[in-house]
Amino acid sequence: MYRYDEFDRTFVLERIAEFRDQVQRRLSGELTEDQFKPLRLMNGVYLQLHAYMLRIAIPYGTLSSAQLRVLAQIARDHDRGYGHFTTRQNLQFNWIALKDVPEILEKLASVEMHAIQTSGNCIRNVTADHFAGAAADEIADPRPYAEMLRQWSSLHPEFTFLPRKFKVAVTGAPHDRAAIKVHDIGLQLTRDDEGRLGFVVHVGGGQGRTPMIAETIRDFLPEEDLLAYCEAILRVYNLDGRRDNKYKARIKILVHETGAAEFAAAVEAEFAALKGETAPLPPDEVARIAAYFAPPAFAAMPARSEAFDRALHDDPAFARFAARNVHPHKVPGHAIVTVSLKPVGTPPGDATAAQMEAVADIAERYSFGEIRVSHEQNLVLPHVRRDDLPAVFAALSQAELATPNAGLVTDIISCPGLDYCALATARSIPVAERLTERFADLDRQHAIGDLKIKISGCINACGHHHVGHIGILGLERNGEEFYQITLGGSGDESCAIGEIVGKGFSSAEIVDAVETVIDTYLGLRNAPQETFLTAYRRVGEAPFREALYAAAQ
């Protein structure tokens, strides 16, 4: 993991002092709420429906046990005993008193954490593959680059007042677990013919009310040009991006309205001029940052584990967990474990203080003290010995964190929705909870197989419904909530925006409607191995539309 040095520490402490001054000016009345708003947003403080919300940055979703324990302590001391992990690998506390924020920031700083740029029209927390450094299919670890981007973008003097927010995601594997094509910049590590590391650069993806898949503007960007090229993209966007309409201000609109080729040419021209003017990325600096992310001291283990095989044979509950929540690791004899924050009937992504502490303890004992937050709102233990998997399963079960549903129908992404959010038009968490209750039967979930349901409570799409295999969008008409279903979306390397299947459903109807879609899929799939998405791509939306609306006609 990256470790702060004196410079990093001082930077964060100075930022806290600056924010404390801003909070004092707000509390004293020197600043109006309107004047204070952009200042608090720059430090992750939102005013929600009922209280202030504080969003804490978890850079590229990597946490240590010590950090997670402090988050648990903050949940106890300043919130209602829990926190909410978000689709941007961050953590939100929903019940915070403004006057407490500087103190919370100091507690965070004690474990090298902060809330800088978790909101505002700036470069947001950089996200990455949650299996980074562990995945069997990885070309290179994306986290050193995410960390360099984090540092470079922190309080950047030129790019702090962009037309709109700006999100960067980095992945080091061909299978995209970081949804890079729905980010403002999506970086994909690759090697050229000579084996040099570099990036495929995608720009202009995004969700929100105008979902778009990113355009590829560079097939190979050498590693050393990373910052200069990002600077060129940001400068073109800062100068040319629309500022007349908040809903047309994201870079995706600029790329779309300019045309990808012309936009790419503008970036290349700026990049050519910038080289030599801007901060270089010399190999020794890359090596210095990369050293922080060196693999932990893995023991040499045989690929097969007898303890694992025995548990698989003896314990059906473990077998079910292993089938869904255990993933291949690059080092023989090791595995990656998904810690599900999606038990039946609870808000997706919520974790209690006790659960955070349990994960911190388990990670310390079995995963080199390292935890990841996934954009799918789960936690991950990246480096577990296969021999230890039965013990990890038992410990997670005790903390109610072993639901064997990773990637299944109840592993739902949901935004906070109308229960918390001032922008929401409908509730989303209760829909997620009811869906998990409807599909609670684990045999049924496993029979359905891979299926991503994503729920947003308004068109801003924080719940990623556009890229859900089944997407649910909560809207409001005449004071009534209703829910639109989209089908066929995908956030990975086969990125696609879901298609609206027909008119919406009432809150009372939506769970039945989703069940109808799933039953239709089960009836038409070629084989149990044909996933929902594959089947949908084969047959299109007609059979689903028919099943959903035939009765009404």
Least distance from C-beta 440 to other proteins, angstroms? 47
Query: Is the Cβ of residue 159 or residue 293 nearer to other proteins in the bound state?
Result: 159
Q: 473 by DSSP, 3-state: which? A: strand
Report how far apart, in Å, the C-alpha atoms of 345 and of each of 188, 336, 543, 549 are.
36, 26, 30, 28
Query: Is the Cβ of residue 243 or residue 365 nearer to other proteins in the bound state?
Result: 243
Q: What is the DSSP letter of 412?
A: -
CB 51 within 8 A of CB 70: no
> Strand 168-171 to strand 185-191: parallel, antiparallel, or no bridges (unpaired)?
parallel
Residue position matching structure tokens 């670890």: 141
Query: Minimal CA–CA distance to 94: which of 378, 347, 425?
Result: 347
**Order of strands across the sheet with 215-222?**
127-128, 168-171, 185-191, 197-203, 215-222
Query: Is the Cβ of residue 103 or residue 492 nearer to other proteins in the bound state?
Result: 103
Query: Measured between alpha carbons, how far is 200 from 174 in angstroms, rounded to an integer?
Result: 11
Dihedral over Cα of 146, 147, 150, 152: its sign: negative
Query: Is the Cβ of residue 192 or residue 285 nearer to other proteins in the bound state?
Result: 285
Tokens representing 145? 């680059």
Least distance from C-beta 119 to other proteins, angstroms? 13
Query: Is the Cβ of residue 226 or residue 547 nearer to other proteins in the bound state?
Result: 226
Report how far apart, in Å, the C-alpha atoms of 141 and of each of 1, 66, 125, 167, 291 are.
12, 23, 18, 19, 11
**Strands of 243-360, DSSP E:** 326-328, 334-339, 350-352
Query: Is the Cβ of residue 161 or residue 259 nearer to other proteins in the bound state?
Result: 161
Least distance from C-beta 159 to other proteins, angstroms? 7
Query: Is the Cβ of residue 122 or residue 396 nearer to other proteins in the bound state?
Result: 122
Least distance from C-beta 397 to other proteins, angstroms? 43
Least distance from C-beta 132 to other proteins, angstroms? 21
- The CA radius of gyration of the chain, in Å to the nearest whole number, is 23
Query: Measured between alpha carbons, how far is 513 from 526 in angstroms, rounded to an integer?
Result: 22
Report how far apart, in Å, the C-alpha atoms of 28 and of each of 24, 33, 97, 99, 495 are.
6, 11, 15, 11, 49
Query: Is the Cβ of residue 43 or residue 414 nearer to other proteins in the bound state?
Result: 43
Query: Is the Cβ of residue 130 or residue 167 nearer to other proteins in the bound state?
Result: 167
Least distance from C-beta 292 to other proteins, angstroms? 13
Residue position matching structure tokens 């049924």: 444
Query: Measured between alpha carbons, how far is 427 from 412 in angstroms, rounded to an integer?
Result: 14
Residue ranges that bind other proteins, judged by CB under 8 A: 7, 10-11, 14-15, 17-18, 20-22, 25, 30, 38-39, 121, 151-163, 227, 235, 238-239, 243, 273, 277-282, 285, 288
Query: Measured between alpha carbons, how far is 62 from 79 in angstroms, rounded to an integer?
Result: 22
Query: Minimal CA–CA distance to 305: which of 225, 384, 420, 397?
Result: 384
Least distance from C-beta 288 to other proteins, angstroms? 8
Least distance from C-beta 103 to other proteins, angstroms? 17
Least distance from C-beta 160 to other proteins, angstroms? 6
Query: Is the Cβ of residue 12 or residue 432 nearer to other proteins in the bound state?
Result: 12
Least distance from C-beta 104 to other proteins, angstroms? 19
Least distance from C-beta 516 to other proteins, angstroms? 46
Query: Is the Cβ of residue 11 or residue 95 nearer to other proteins in the bound state?
Result: 11
